[in-house]
Chain A
């Protein structure tokens, strides 16, 4: 299902990326390259532009300046091709609260044209420890269960690039350990408030007020 990432093509390439909300710049001058299989950790205080960066990479927001490409697909022009190869866990669960976990995942599996959707959904639900509650509607889940189901949704189509906006939020240590294998073995972009997450990264980006910033003094 997953395409073989080409080593010659960077998984993510940004040059002078800009994004504004009205007149307010949310991202400016972001330039970086992430190779296939690498992990980029984006650190920064609240409002630094971390989530905006992820939403641009997820094709949900258009860049207003500079260039951005994911797996060689220029955004936003080739967003459609990139979407097949991206998984995104955002602040919101992106799940319908009146559908069950299984129904939500089946919907996304069918939209992503996953082969044998029922079997794949059962597999990822098992992997995140949600098999027993899969038939219950999402609004009955705890926040941790919602987050686990959101992770399952993001990896359903076996994406090469995972965009994870504070993926451990709402997860206890056991649950974090449970979902970790699903997130491994892919190019990952992870936003975090925790500077110790930089230890696990191949590439680290500090952001402050939308601009790249050295890690020293990032939270000052």
Chain B
């Protein structure tokens, strides 16, 4: 029943073995290990890492809101684009459905705008 998948499972096992042998085993036991302060630091795109832990100041994460709002409009675009391409075939039905969809997103947009979600400060 599952025979076509047996080679795939075999490949998975081989891949796991390879990763285990090369990355985990060999590099640990053969490669040199030299630690430095820079290596121990958190990696933040090469800039000075943001201070964390007790005693350091808090930092704002309000960009998350912008990112979330961006995704909503991003998704909207994803739906509008194929609709626009096939508009001729979908006709009035497609138009009505798309208007409903955009109206729903617009309601969310109006809420965000009125409640200050678009203000940075």
A-B interaction: no
Residue numbers of B with Cβ under 8 A of A are: none
